[in-house]
Structure 1
Amino acid sequence: MVISSKDVKTIYFCPRKAKFEIRHRERNKKSLLSVSNFQTDAFGCILVAEVDEIVSENPLVVKILKTGKKLSEYHMLESAFVGYVIESNGKKLDAIIIESPYYSVSVNWKPYVSRMLSMIGSFCETDEFRVMKTHLCRTCPFSPECFKEIVNSESLTFLHGVKEKTLEKLNSYGINTLKDVINMNPIVEQLLGKEKAKRLAVQAKSIIENRPILIRPVPKISEGLYLDIESYTPLNFDYLFGILDDGVYIPFLASDPSSESNVFKEVVNYISKTNKPVYHFHNYEINRFKKLARRYNVELSKNFFNRFIDVYKLYIDHVALPVPSYSLKSIARYFGFNWRTQLNGQLVVHSYAEYLTTGDKRILQEILTYNEDDVRATEFILKKLIEIIA
């Protein structure tokens, strides 16, 4: 098994997902051995250090690029992985720099080597890992497999709205399975309140019976526009506004931050010319519109924003689904929608950064395809909601 330094984050949060990803990569014969000069053997695995830049050869200084605002523990473990692999090649490593648009730090990676090796050793020597619910589940293509395993055991792991403290509270009263949530609902109601108990019972029934169940009536749904925004967060730059109108995908693309204002105004003008509702998934789009309106002194009325309808909220408030999470990908995949790319919300930021560096139009086209699939998925699940309530 070949493990890259770029796998460290996933191993840290969810080794099961990392194992799936590495096996998928190897099945598809995607070799990492040609992308790096630094590799070593450990625990029966090949460890490959992928660095984004060799700053200098003598002394050897390498750079790892990130997009976030602060250093995290897994960054230090990744740097320890890189440092260990490079020095195992007999090289003297002078410094590892971790850099993002928000910071540039030469990190002290050596104190993290022992913990990194323990983590990688366990990962290499273990075939199966227990199912965990993490923030990675929202976009993970393997989460349906984990969900299926959990359903078979009737565990509460993926019961929507049950976090660790709630789970501990339920377990302390002997509520350990999905059937317990239904059969012991009066106790759940005393612990969590009437509304929450009702929601959990319906959610548990939906998972057990593997079907959508209405929680309450859904408001009237009419035909509209579908909106999805792609942003390059390191520059706080909204570069792509994808709109789906009567089946036609219309990308409003800003070539650089200086053109963001004009593109935003074009989008506002397009939406304002119609009385159709604007469907989006979660609150990101409406928040960005409000910020951009303030930034560029564009006056948007309350009626304009009243036309924005959050499809996530329609689902979360009105329907229980047998899904591992209520993310767009999870809901759409449950109903049979498939994306044409492997991108997700995090990867698209890295892809756009690569596009800015290389100017490769193929990368931009992949981002446009991903954005189009997002708006089409939003339309798709809204139509599925109409079918449920019909």
Structure 2
Amino acid sequence: MSGGGTILHSVDSDIGDRDGRKRNGTAVDRPADAPTAFIDARALIGCRHRLHLDATHPEPPAGLSEDPGVRQRREAATAHRARVRDALVAADPDAWVVIDPRCRAAERAEATMRACAAGAHHIWGGLLPQEPDTGRRGGSEILLRDIERGGYIPIIVVNHKVTDPRQPEPADFHPTTSDPYHWNPQPDPHRKLRQQPRDVQRLAHLHRMLQRHGLASPALVGGVIGYQFDRILVHDLGPLLADYDLRYADRIAVVRGELPTVPSKVPECRQCPWWTRGLEGPSCEGWLIEHRDVSLVAPGSRAEVLRRHGVETIDDLAAWVGDDPEDWQHGPFDEAVVTARAWIAGAPLVRRVEQVRVRRADVEVDVDLESFQEYGAYLWGTLLDGVYRPFVTWDPLPTDDEGRSFGEFWTWLMTVRAEAATAGKTFAAYCYSRTAEDKWLYESARRFAGRPGVPTVDQVRAFVDGPQWVDMFQAVSDQFICPNGKGLKKIAPVAGFAWRDPEAGGEASMSWYRLAVGYDGTPDLSQRTRLLEYNEDDVRATQVLRDWMTTRADGEVAGLADFGRRTIAT
């Protein structure tokens, strides 16, 4: 039920008949004297029901505190934008007009329009006038004067990655980028694009607002400066405007009470305060359980496809007969049916295979890292022969000391592997969902190249692409259907493991880390202990899960045949 900037759920199918299904909600006419409703581009990507609830209850419920992860990301984004502003303005102070953020919104909008009318080349912190008729509001970190065509190009500054480096290679598509200090858009063979729908929707939103005042560049482009602040990613806005217009019309109607909404589970519900808290009725989670809504087992866009075929509840899905839906693009459809049947039966897992197998070795090391946003990986935790060994820096990230701890971790891991080979023993290292580990192995090798113990990128690639790096998440995904999710904290308890800290989790660890290193005051040593125990529990959970899969899972987990299937096509 959450909105905000980490949405993973596509809203293409939300528009139009998303809430035209069976429901108690009905559209309402907007009273003539209703207050003007405004939304900015953040509302375009996210949960429609969250948008409705936030609009209906603008004041947060009593006793409800802001999610610490959301607060930390906002604070980090503010600091990142300040760094970018200071660097750009310092490089050419006479070329910039900086709008004072301490002024009231109306004053900032007036100052922005005056700067545009004067033909300022660069405007930082521009706020465009609110539009009572359309409901639009918004501003751009940078408004760049289009010298050749006239008008302004919106450039936003975000605290996430928008491209990744790559070796130059021929490709059908190269993203367009520009030097951040000198506007010169060119296809960039050294970058590959990271899809960020929230960014392009915001740029389209700003283009429409500039267009209203005759200030939009005819080039129909916008730019994004990401976390790395090395290039401006340039987006062609022309093909995006029709989708933006549909989204905007839908979302402003939701805010104005002209379109009804009901809950539906999407990945970001776990960070939404409405998920477990209701005001005039049950929480979103409670509503979905009460209605046995199909999104509980088929979240996000999966549920939208099913609803188009009349599948509203988990029971509807479990009773499916006939051919698979032609528009189903989410893996084997039989798996979705089995997931529904398992949920009804209360089965946390369903075994896909006759015999569960996991790659085992004579010498086994479990690995789990802890990172802080995009600043770095401060802790590499390991488990060998029941002994937990952390490789950590408590210098606040970003810090060069991260290179030391990473080099020590890699040296230790490779020494264990080499000693196993010398003794004629097999070796394997295990993680759970290798995406994060792989990312920071590569990132650390690039950032700290040449430092003691730090491998080359080629050495990292040879290891992670080899058979000795085992992803337990993949082993679970290949051999089990998981009605309640595949996260380690969902799966390991089935194997009998429990975390010591009831609040253990990635979002909570961000708050603990800030306290542990003293970002906001004196370092809290108790939080360092808490982080180490959390990391140790993660690696021990992986080891317990592996042992369980090897010895007990076959007898403790029902197979496909128990749910009316012998096999599932792949």
* Shared fold, TM over 0.5: yes
**Structure 1 range deviating more: 189-198 or 168-177:** 189-198
What are the within-5 Å matches in structure 2 for residues 123-134 of structure 1?
A: 132-134=265-267
- For 2:295, the equivalent position in structure 1 comes to 157
* Alpha-carbon shift at residue 134 of structure 1 (Å): 4.0
1:109/1:172 Cα in 2 relative to 1: closer, same or farther (>3 Å)?
Answer: farther
SS of the residue corresponding to residue 201 of structure 1 reads helix
Alignment partner of 2:535 out of 371, 376, 386: 371
Higher Rg: 2
What are the within-5 Å matches in structure 2 for residues 21-36 of structure 1?
A: none
Instruction: Kindly provide the amino acid, as one letter, of the partner of residue 100 in structure 1.
Output: A
Alignment partner of 2:79 out of 100, 109, 117: 100
Instruction: Kindly provide the amino acid, as one letter, of the partner of residue 360 in structure 2.
Output: S
Give distance in 2, aligned partners of 1:148 and 1:380: 32
Q: Percent identity?
A: 21
* Alpha-carbon shift at residue 261 of structure 1 (Å): 1.9
SS of the residue corresponding to residue 192 of structure 1 reads coil
**Structure 1 range deviating more: 220-229 or 279-288:** 220-229
Unaligned residue ranges in structure 2 (runs of 5+): 1-45, 51-58, 84-99, 107-129, 131-261, 277-282, 418-425, 450-454, 556-570
Alignment partner of 2:351 out of 203, 207, 214: 214
* Alpha-carbon shift at residue 197 of structure 1 (Å): 0.5
Give distance in 1, aligned partners of 2:440 and 2:293: 38
Cα distance per residue 1:108-141 (max 9 Å; x no partner): 78899xxxxxxxxxxxxxxxx967444253899x
Give distance in 2, aligned partners of 1:155 and 1:228: 35
* Alpha-carbon shift at residue 47 of structure 1 (Å): 8.6
What are the within-5 Å matches in structure 2 for residues 128-277 of structure 1?
A: 132-137=265-270, 150=288, 153-160=291-298, 162-164=299-301, 166-192=302-328, 195-211=331-347, 212-216=349-353, 218-223=356-361, 224-233=364-373, 236-256=375-395, 257-272=399-414, 273-274=416-417, 275-277=426-428
Give distance in 2, aligned partners of 1:355 and 1:196: 45
SS of the residue corresponding to residue 378 of structure 2 reads strand
* Alpha-carbon shift at residue 354 of structure 1 (Å): 2.1
Instruction: Kindly provide the amino acid, as one letter, of the partner of residue 266 in structure 1.
Output: E
Cα distance per residue 1:234-277 (max 9 Å; x no partner): 5x221111001122111111243222222212211222222522
Alignment partner of 2:486 out of 315, 326, 347: 326
SS of the residue corresponding to residue 186 of structure 1 reads coil
Give distance in 2, aligned partners of 1:188 and 1:284: 34
Instruction: Kindly provide the amino acid, as one letter, of the partner of residue 385 in structure 2.
Output: D
- For 2:470, the equivalent position in structure 1 comes to 309
* Alpha-carbon shift at residue 156 of structure 1 (Å): 1.3
- For 2:144, the equivalent position in structure 1 comes to none
Cα distance per residue 1:314-357 (max 9 Å; x no partner): 2223211231x322222234555332222421222222222222
1:158/1:316 Cα in 2 relative to 1: closer, same or farther (>3 Å)?
Answer: farther
Alignment partner of 1:278 is 2:429: yes
Are the aligned partners of 1:286 and 1:308 in contact in 2 as well (CA < 8 Å)?
no
SS of the residue corresponding to residue 332 of structure 2 reads helix
SS of the residue corresponding to residue 180 of structure 1 reads helix
SS of the residue corresponding to residue 310 of structure 2 reads coil
* Alpha-carbon shift at residue 45 of structure 1 (Å): 4.4
- For 2:497, the equivalent position in structure 1 comes to 337
Give distance in 2, aligned partners of 1:294 and 1:107: 40
Are the aligned partners of 1:242 and 1:375 in contact in 2 as well (CA < 8 Å)?
yes
- For 2:35, the equivalent position in structure 1 comes to none
- For 2:43, the equivalent position in structure 1 comes to none
Are the aligned partners of 1:226 and 1:280 in contact in 2 as well (CA < 8 Å)?
yes
SS of the residue corresponding to residue 400 of structure 2 reads helix
What TM-score results when the alignment is normalised by the length of structure 2?
A: 0.44
Give distance in 2, aligned partners of 1:139 and 1:318: 31
Instruction: Kindly provide the amino acid, as one letter, of the partner of residue 271 in structure 1.
Output: L
SS of the residue corresponding to residue 506 of structure 2 reads coil
SS of the residue corresponding to residue 252 of structure 1 reads strand
- For 1:23, the equivalent position in structure 2 comes to none
SS of the residue corresponding to residue 390 of structure 2 reads strand
Give distance in 2, aligned partners of 1:270 and 1:43: 49
Are the aligned partners of 1:253 and 1:263 in contact in 2 as well (CA < 8 Å)?
yes
- For 1:361, the equivalent position in structure 2 comes to 525
SS of the residue corresponding to residue 340 of structure 1 reads coil
* Alpha-carbon shift at residue 289 of structure 1 (Å): 0.8
* Alpha-carbon shift at residue 222 of structure 1 (Å): 1.1
Are the aligned partners of 2:359 and 2:470 in contact in 1 as well (CA < 8 Å)?
no
What are the within-5 Å matches in structure 2 for residues 30-69 of structure 1?
A: 45=62, 66-68=72-74
SS of the residue corresponding to residue 100 of structure 1 reads helix
Give distance in 1, aligned partners of 2:271 and 2:365: 24
Are the aligned partners of 1:67 and 1:100 in contact in 2 as well (CA < 8 Å)?
no
SS of the residue corresponding to residue 311 of structure 2 reads coil
Give distance in 2, aligned partners of 1:364 and 1:389: 39
1:260/1:139 Cα in 2 relative to 1: closer, same or farther (>3 Å)?
Answer: farther
Query: How many residue pairs end up in the alignment?
Result: 294
Are the aligned partners of 1:65 and 1:100 in contact in 2 as well (CA < 8 Å)?
no
Instruction: Kindly provide the amino acid, as one letter, of the partner of residue 79 in structure 2.
Output: S
Instruction: Kindly provide the amino acid, as one letter, of the partner of residue 343 in structure 2.
Output: I
- For 2:441, the equivalent position in structure 1 comes to 289
Are the aligned partners of 1:243 and 1:250 in contact in 2 as well (CA < 8 Å)?
yes
- For 1:123, the equivalent position in structure 2 comes to none
Give distance in 2, aligned partners of 1:195 and 1:48: 38
Alignment partner of 1:389 out of 554, 557, 563: 554
Give distance in 2, aligned partners of 1:159 and 1:110: 44
Give distance in 1, aligned partners of 2:378 and 2:343: 39
Give distance in 2, aligned partners of 1:336 and 1:167: 31
Give distance in 2, aligned partners of 1:195 and 1:49: 36
Unaligned residue ranges in structure 1 (runs of 5+): 1-11, 17-41, 51-63, 72-98, 113-128
Are the aligned partners of 1:228 and 1:280 in contact in 2 as well (CA < 8 Å)?
yes
* Alpha-carbon shift at residue 384 of structure 1 (Å): 3.4
SS of the residue corresponding to residue 327 of structure 2 reads helix
Two-structure CA RMSD over aligned residues (Å): 4.2
Are the aligned partners of 2:267 and 2:300 in contact in 1 as well (CA < 8 Å)?
no
